[in-house]
A and B are shown apart, each in its own frame.
Chain A
Amino acid sequence: MKKADIELQFNWIFVLIVGTVILAFFIGVVMKQKGFAEQKTGVQLSADLETITTGAEVSKGTAQIIKVPQLGIEFRSEDCLRRYSIGGGTKQYREKIIFAPGLIKGNEILAWTMDWNVPYRVTNFLFLTSPQMRYILIDLSGANELAFQVNKSLPNEMYRELVTNPNSIINNRNYKVRLAYFSALPSQIVVPDELQSVNDKDLTAVNIVSSTPYKTGTLTFYEKKGSSFQPVGQTYILGILSIYGAIFTDDYEMYNCNMKEAFKKMNFVTTIIQNRTNVLYNDVAICMDEYYLSFMPLQTIAAESSILMSIFPVSSQARVDSLYNAAFVELESSNRNLQLQSCPELY
C-alpha cells in the first residue's frame, strides 16, 4: 500500500477519534449544565417561594396567582418537620403555617392568606394550591349552610364546585382531586363512579362535621384504597380557617402539624396579651373589674394552647372546646364590655 493511502486512512481514524472526543466532551458539558441549571432554578424558586410566602403572610385577605416554572412543588411533613421541595432544592419551614396539597403542579400557584383570630389575631394561614387541582364540595342534604358558606368564601381562582350527588361528578382528568363531604355519615363517604379510575394517591377526601357558628367540630381524613375510601384519622376544627385548611391540604399529618404550630403561636401571643391586660388592670383603675374577669379565660387559652401544641389531635376534643369557650364566649364578652365602657380593649 502506498504511504498516501495509509496516511489517508490514519487521517480518517484520527478525525473519528478526535471528533468523538470533542462531541462527547460537549455533550457531557451540556448534560451537566442542564442538570446544574435545573438545580439552580429549583434553589432559586425555593428562595423565591420563601419571599412569596413571607409577603403573602403579611398581606392578609389576599388571593393571588403566582407564575412559577413547571417544576412541581411538593409539600411534606415527617414528624412535623414540614418542608417543600422544588426541582433539586428542599427547604424546611418552621413558623409559617401553609396548608397545601402534597404536590402542586403546573405553571401557576394560587396563594390565599387569611388571618386566624382566636379571638384576637394569632397568625396568618397561608393556603396554596394549583388552579389545576380539582376540589369538589359534596353536600348530600342539599341544605348544609356550611357547605354553601365555604363554597362562597373560597377564592374564585380555585377550581371547585358544589354538588349534591357524587355520582353526577365527571372525571375531568385533573392531576389531583379532593372531595370535601359536609356532615356525611361514614357509609356515605364513597368514591364516585367516574373517579374510580383515578390513582389512589391522587384522590382524597375529608368529612367536615361542624354546626353554627362553625368554630368547632371534627374532621375525618380519608384516602382512596382501591374502590373505596378508608379513614386515615380524625382531628378537630378551631375556627373556619381550619376547615379551609382541611380542604386545601390532603395530608392528615400536615394538617395536624400546621395546627400544632398555630397553637404554639397562640400560646406566645396569649402571653403578650396577658401581660398587657395585667398592665391595664394596674393602670386603668375604672376598668379593673372587667380586666379582672378576663384573666381566667386568658389563662385557659394559654394553658390549653400550651398542651395542644404538643398533643393535638390526641385527646384534644375537650381542650379545643374549652379553648373555644374561653376565646369566643368569655373573652369576646369581656372585650365588648370594655368597648362599651370606653376602656382600652384587650385586643
Chain B
Amino acid sequence: MGETIAILIIFFFLVIFGFGFYVRVQQSGFQRQKLEGTNLRAIQVAQKASFLPELQCSFKNVQVDDCIDLIKLDAFGRSLSNSDGSFYQYYSTVFGKSDIRVQMVYPPGPTYIVYTTEVTKPENNLSTFVPVALYNATSKSYSFGILSVNTYE
C-alpha cells in the first residue's frame, strides 16, 4: 500500500515536471515564432514599398522593378503630409509601424521621407536596405539610391 502511494507520488511528480518542461519548451517556441513573424512583417513592408505603383518607374505603362520615380516620390511625401489625413490613414494600414526613406547616394542628394510613424519607445527595430535606381523624368537621368525600411513593434 505504502509502496503504491510512493509510486503514485513519484509518478505525479514526473508528470508535473514533464508538464512544466513542456510549457517552457512551448514558450521558447512562441518567442521564436514571434521573432519570425516580426522578420516576415519587415520583409512584407519592404516588398510593398519596393513595388508601390505610386513610386515605381513606368515606361509605356510597363513597371520597372527596383526603380523609383523621383517626381512621384516627392509628390507622395507631400501628399502624406498635406492632405486631410485620409492619405496618411490609408498608408498606415499598408505600412503599419515603420519608417521608410529613400536616400540619394550618388550623385549625393537629399533623403526623402516616404512614410514615418511616431513611435515613443521603438522595440525590435529591424532595418532593411534596398538599392534602387532613382529616375528623374525631367532630365531623363538616373541616380543611385537606397530605400531604407525600418519596422518597429
Direct interface between A and B, CB < 8 A: yes
Q: Is A5 an interface residue (CB 8 A)?
A: no
With A47-B37, A272-B76 as known contacts, state yes or no: A120 contacts B53, CB within 8 Å: yes
| Cβ-defined contact, B137 with A344, below 8 A | yes
Tell me whether A34 is interfacial, beta carbon within 8 Å.
no
How many residue pairs between the two chains, A and B, have CB atoms under 8 Å in the bound complex? 86
Choice from B43, B53, B138 contacting A122 with Cβ under 8 Å = B53
Tell me the complex Cα distance, A51–B4, Å.
Answer: 54
- Known contacts A55-B47, A121-B58, A345-B59; is-contact A276 B71 (Cβ 8 Å): yes
A220 within 8 Å of B by Cβ? no
User: With A and B bound together, what is the CA distance between A55 and B40 in angstroms?
Assistant: 11
New contact pairs (20) apart from A264-B90, A269-B53, A283-B138, CB-CB < 8 Å: A18-B8, A47-B37, A47-B40, A51-B43, A54-B44, A55-B47, A57-B48, A95-B90, A115-B63, A120-B61, A122-B53, A269-B54, A271-B75, A275-B72, A276-B71, A279-B138, A280-B71, A280-B138, A339-B60, A344-B138
**Cα(A47)–Cα(B34), bound, Å:** 11
A276–B69 touching, CB < 8 Å: yes
Query: Which A residues touch B43, using CB under 8 A?
Result: 51
Q: Given A276-B75, A279-B138, A344-B140, A120 and B58 touching (CB < 8 A)?
A: yes
Contact of A51 with B40 at beta-carbon distance under 8 Å, contacts A117-B61, A120-B61, A344-B138 already known = yes
Question: Which residues of chain A are within 8 angstroms of B53 by Cβ–Cβ distance?
Answer: 120-123, 269
B24 CB–A CB distance under 8 Å: no
Known contacts A47-B40, A268-B90; is-contact A347 B61 (Cβ 8 Å): yes
Which residues of chain B are within 8 angstroms of A94 by Cβ–Cβ distance? 93
Enumerate chain B residues within 8 angstroms of A47, measured Cβ to Cβ: 37, 40
* A50 neighbours in B (Cβ, 8 Å): 44
Task: Output the nearest chain A residue to B76 by Cβ-Cβ distance.
Answer: A272
Name B's A-contacting residues (CB within 8 A): 1, 4, 8, 33, 37, 40, 43-44, 47-48, 50-51, 53-54, 56, 58-61, 63, 69, 71-72, 74-76, 78-79, 83, 87, 90, 93-94, 137-138, 140
Q: State A154–B29 Cα separation when bound (angstroms).
A: 41
Residues of chain A in range 270-294 having any CB-CB distance to chain B below 8 Å? 271-273, 275-276, 279-280, 283-284
A–B complex contacts, Cβ < 8 Å, 5 sampled: A11-B1, A51-B43, A58-B50, A121-B53, A276-B71
Which residues of chain B are within 8 angstroms of A279 by Cβ–Cβ distance? 71, 74-75, 138
The interface on chain A, measured as residues whose beta carbon lies within 8 A of the other chain's beta carbons, has a size of 38
Closest CB in chain A relative to B85 CB, distance in Å: 13
Q: Could you mark each residue 110-142 of chain A with 1 if its beta carbon is under 8 Å from any beta carbon of chain B, else 0?
A: 000001010111110000000000000000000
Give chain A's interface residues, CB within 8 Å of chain B.
7, 11, 14, 18, 44, 47, 50-51, 54-55, 57-58, 94-95, 115, 117, 119-123, 264, 268-269, 271-273, 275-276, 279-280, 283-284, 335, 339, 344-345, 347
Asked if B90 and A347 sit within 8 Å, CB to CB, the answer is no
- Given A47-B40, A275-B79, A280-B137, also A95-B51 (CB < 8 A): no
Contact call A121/B44, Cβ cutoff below 8 A: no
User: How near does chain B come to A180, taking the closest CB pair, in angstroms?
Assistant: 28
Report chain B residues within 8 Å CB of A123: 53
